């Protein structure tokens, strides 16, 4: 299911308020792999509270009905919780980016040093996960 989802929405808690961000991702070894700029609200929030929730949806489509309230939605989704770690080590970042890239493009990939310098990886160790499908 995670392989079919085009992105995840990463949910966090920012000083008691919900904060959610859609993100590209990869999945391997029970972890989500994400990337971000070295600074910004997302990283500030994760540094204060690394606990996260994620949701991914694939194959979503509206299923028309005969009347307004008889419409439905077809989808597959997965949701879960985990703990995020911010990765700054260059080799660990390359490994994380490789997981993300494998989701979208086959082969090996190289990364410019200046791009790596502006990037961090975020690894979310999945602790709980659940899935649901409707109309599939």
pLDDT tens digits, residue range 23-46?
999 999 999 999 999 999 999 999
Q: Considering the domain 8-132, what is its CATH architecture?
A: Roll (2.30)
How much is the pTM? 0.87
Residue with tokens 């000083």: 15
- Which residues make Cβ contacts (< 8 Å) with residue 75, sequence separation at least 6? 57, 58, 59, 60, 61, 133, 134, 135, 136
**CA distances (Å), origin 43, targets 14, 48, 64, 74, 129:** 11, 9, 41, 34, 23
pLDDT tens digits, residue range 60-104?
767 778 887 877 777 789 999 999 999 989 899 999 999 999 988
Q: Where are the domains of the chain?
A: 8-132
């Amino acid at each position: 299911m995670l392989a079919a989802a085009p992105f995840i929405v990463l949910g966090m808690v920012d000083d008691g308020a919900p904060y959610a961000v859609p993100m590209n991702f990869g999945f391997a070894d029970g972890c989500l792999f994400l990337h971000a700029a070295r600074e910004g609200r997302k990283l500030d929030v994760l540094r204060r509270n690394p606990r996260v929730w994620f949701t991914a949806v694939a194959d979503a489509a509206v299923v028309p009905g005969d009347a307004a309230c008889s419409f439905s939605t077809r989808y597959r989704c997965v949701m879960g919780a985990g703990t995020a770690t911010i990765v700054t080590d260059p080799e660990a970042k390359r490994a994380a980016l490789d997981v993300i890239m494998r989701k979208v493009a086959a082969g090996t990939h190289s990364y410019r040093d200046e791009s790596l310098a502006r990037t961090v990886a975020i690894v979310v160790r999945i602790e709980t996960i659940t899935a649901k499908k409707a109309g599939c």
